[in-house]
Amino acid sequence: MDYYTRGQLPILSYDMAPDALEREIVRRILCEKPCNLVFVEVCGKLYGIVSRSDISRAVKAGYDRIPVNCKYTSIVGKQYMKARELFREKETIHEVPVTDREGRLMGMCSRTDDLLYLEYCDPWEDNRYIRPFLEQLETIRFVRAPEGDVRREKVIDQWIGEFTKCGVKCELIDFAELPDKQDENTPILIVDEEINRGGYSVIEALDRAVYRSDHIYTFRTYERLMSESAYDELIRKLADFGIKVYNIFFSRDENTEGRKRLWKGMRQWLKQPEARNVNPHVTPSSAQGFYEELNKGNYAAEVGKLYFGLEANNVYTRMKDIRSPYLNIVNGERVTTGQPAEADRTIWCFGPCIIIGGFVEDKYTIESILQKKINDDGYSCKVVNCGCHETPYQEMIRITSTPMKPGDIVILYLDNRSVPGVESIDMMDLLDKNNVPAEWLLDLPVHCNHKVNMIYADELYERMKRDGILSNEVQQGEHPSMLTRDLAVNSLYMDLRFNTFHPEEGQTVGGIGMHGNPFTLGHRYLIETASKMVDRLICQIIEDELGAFSFAERFAMAVEGTRDLPNVKIVAGGPFQATRNVFQEYFVKVEPTDMRESATVDTLIFAEIIAKRLGITYRFLGDEKHNPKMQYFNELVKEILPQYGIRVVELPRAQAGGRPISASYARSVAAAGDMETLLQNIPETTLPFIIGKDDQ
């Protein structure tokens, strides 16, 4: 969560209450101060808001004026723990106005805090993939920060400096230039997600244009893009472990009459008044041509607008479970019809819309069609739909966290590009070859109907038979979830966070892992005590987002709380340490002993990869007698790590007011507004992250 003061927000003030706002007035204020909300004041008090959703609905209805929404959720005073609770309870709320008791607007709490991440997590020295990427880049554009926004200006200046060092030409543009500049081929960077949401409003709704997400990036998403060579390396290496990979993508050229016809049809679809290319759906005017014989009753309305909920954060993504007549997701995987309970090998499918099957019912996904062909021909193989709306980085984490074995097959759609050294299938070639009607597609080859899915599945199946991989003998051996672990942890974590870390000869290095939700005097005691026992101390902050405080907040609190300890390095914990990707049982209701397998894997990742590469010979633990699961984990760590030459030191908890200090107690007294007790449990550096910063 991040907090913005009144001076940073787009505010329109009136003497009399307006029922709606002129589009041009909203556009102007958003260009000056981009945000997901426009605040409307009447006689000095907050009267209503206009959100991106309000703008979109008004434009869709053909209104030239945007109604003011007076039914909004807000908090009074610095009740920021309440704001966090609202964000956790209601996924549709992204910002919450903050008022005083008289109703005057003081500021805004935002769910997103990637600006805070950018201020504290510096990727430039430790990520080995970034500089080679930038050396291939010629020009890039940065959107200027709003006037007087010192925080954003500082981050933008830092990024421009790093790009310039690598010879990249950097251009600065104003926010109002986005609608025109986005149609050019030069990438555009917007500093953070809150500003980016304002960009969506200006371009999509107010300018009635299509937001080019393939050209506009936030700094956070572009940081992941700059590391994409790590993904190619991982995919190629899967073959070394006996896994066949098929990559599907589509090219954009129009070098045949068939391609010209198809792209013309897709562009024509976008011109429909009811069509949108962000979260597209099957429009009423296109339903008959798209679904043909299936289009009976409410079929198009129910299947053409399937809703896929997402459980996601920076290191973990899964589709939310759902049961319905046309869409069923169980344990984060869309149901593949006809899937056997057991099989000799598995086909794992990864990627967004085309893999998920966004516009078809369960039985018409590529996976279900493929499963039927396999069953009919008598092969012992099951097809698993791991499709998910996620970034390529998250997709790589999902792939390397999946329990594959030699002989398995991977089908993936990776950011619509071919992967060097991997067999790729161009969907446009198949559409052209099969003379597919343009009506079977929406705006892209991946947004298609059941008949196109059959064509894609046919091609995949024929290639598998041609390659003989469905009938060859499955070799028994160690699961690649173990074999690829080293590659995944090094490529997706160590090479991004520790490329320049090299302990000196004879130096003792210690390690600590913690959540810090929030950072307390107990965490400070553990780190300070440990830092006196080693020459260097590395403290990993768990990245999985499950607590009241985000990873960015917890990381920043730990940095601020240890600035005076020169031998302490605060780092991100990565996707494979104490996260649901590895340690799933910790996050569900099971007995501690049921965690043994995943807890062992988590511990071995630290011992065999992280500690080995960083020269860690000490692991420090806090006393966890109050938490049976963590106590069990501590005992397992004390059992395993000494086998790798790592000494485990368990320290007692610090106390305050006659009781052990805990993050949960700190949260409860913060929520109750008991500042006196709170300050007995947290360092002063943590307080601004709980009650807000007045100097922003």
pLDDT value of residue 240: 78
Q: Are residues 222 and 121 in the same domain?
A: yes
pLDDT value of residue 324: 95
Q: Is the separation of the CB atoms in 596 and 577 below 8 Å?
A: no
For the sheet with 2-5, list strands across it. Answer: 2-5, 105-110, 95-99, 75-76
Structure tokens at 216: 């506009």
pLDDT value of residue 88: 86
Class of residue 92 by CB neighbours under 10 A (exposed 0-12, middle 13-18, buried 19+): exposed
pLDDT value of residue 420: 84
Rounded Cα gap, residues 480 and 142, in angstroms: 41
Residue 570 falls within a domain, yes or no?
yes
Q: Are residues 144 and 190 in the same domain?
A: yes
Structure tokens at 351: 């990627």
Over residues 7-24, the mean pLDDT reads: 94
Q: Of the ranges 219-223, 383-387, 526-530, which one carries the lowest mean pLDDT score?
A: 219-223
Three-class secondary structure of residue 14 per DSSP: strand
Contacts of 438 (CB under 8 A, 6+ apart): 261, 262, 264, 265, 266, 268, 269
Q: Is residue 694's pLDDT more than 60?
A: no
pLDDT class of 476 with cuts at 50, 70, 90: low
Q: Are residues 468 and 606 in the same domain?
A: no
Q: Are residues 172 and 46 in the same domain?
A: no
Q: Are residues 466 and 493 in the same domain?
A: no
pLDDT value of residue 50: 95
Over residues 61-77, the mean pLDDT reads: 91
Q: Is residue 42's pLDDT more than 90?
A: yes
A 10 A CB-CB count for 643 gives 8
Rounded Cα gap, residues 18 and 40, in angstroms: 9
Which letter, b or e, does each residue of 564-588 get, where b requires 16 or more Cβ atoms within 10 Å of its Cβ? ebebbbbbbbbbbbbbbbbbebbee
**What total number of domains does the chain contain?**
4
Over residues 396-402, the mean pLDDT reads: 89
User: 14: which strand partners?
Assistant: 42
Rounded Cα gap, residues 659 and 406, in angstroms: 52
Q: Is residue 55's pLDDT more than 80?
A: yes
CATH of the domain at 248: 3.40.50
Over residues 481-506, the mean pLDDT reads: 81
Residue 231 falls within a domain, yes or no?
no
In the chain, % of residues over pLDDT 90? 67
pLDDT class of 337 with cuts at 50, 70, 90: very high
Residue 696 falls within a domain, yes or no?
no
Comparing CA positions, the residue from 117, 120, 129 lying closest to residue 496 is 129
Q: Is residue 480's pLDDT more than 60?
A: no
Domain hosting residue 177, numbered range: 115-226
Mind listing the pLDDT tens digit for each residue in 262-273?
999 999 998 887
Q: Which of 483, 517, 540 is the last residue of a domain?
A: 483
pLDDT class of 509 with cuts at 50, 70, 90: very high
Q: Of the ranges 319-328, 341-350, 470-479, which one carries the lowest mean pLDDT score?
A: 470-479
Q: Are residues 338 and 206 in the same domain?
A: no
Q: Of the ranges 160-164, 325-329, 471-475, 595-599, which one carries the lowest mean pLDDT score?
A: 471-475
Residue 354 falls within a domain, yes or no?
yes
Over residues 458-484, the mean pLDDT reads: 78
- Complete DSSP assignment for 62-97: T-SEEE-B-----EESS-HHHHHHHHHH-TT--EEE
Residue 640 falls within a domain, yes or no?
yes
Q: Are residues 245 and 165 in the same domain?
A: no
H-only helix segments in 571-617: 596-605, 611-614
Residues listed for the chain: 696
pLDDT value of residue 690: 87
User: Is the Cα dihedral 233, 237, 243, 245 positive or negative?
Assistant: positive
Q: Which of 450, 483, 516 is the last residue of a domain?
A: 483
Q: How far is CA 600 from the centre of its chain?
A: 26
Residue 389 falls within a domain, yes or no?
yes
Residue 232 falls within a domain, yes or no?
no
Q: Are residues 158 and 269 in the same domain?
A: no
pLDDT value of residue 277: 63
Q: Are residues 167 and 269 in the same domain?
A: no
Look at 437 and 199; give whichever has higher pLDDT. 437
Comparing CA positions, the residue from 404, 388, 413 lying closest to residue 321 is 388
Q: Are residues 416 and 464 in the same domain?
A: yes
pLDDT value of residue 18: 95
pTM recorded for the entire structure: 0.88
Residue 461 falls within a domain, yes or no?
yes
Comparing CA positions, the residue from 340, 322, 339 lying closest to residue 331 is 322
pLDDT class of 205 with cuts at 50, 70, 90: confident
Contacts of 324 (CB under 8 A, 6+ apart): none
pLDDT value of residue 579: 87
**In the block, residue with structure tokens 């997400």:** 213
CATH of the domain at 12: 3.10.580.10
Mind listing the pLDDT tens digit for each residue in 363-376?
999 999 999 999 99
Q: Are residues 552 and 595 in the same domain?
A: yes
CATH of the domain at 551: 3.40.50.620
- Complete DSSP assignment for 23-49: HHHHHHHHHHS--SEEEEEETTEEEEE
Q: Which of 198, 226, 254 is the last residue of a domain?
A: 226
Q: Are residues 299 and 437 in the same domain?
A: yes
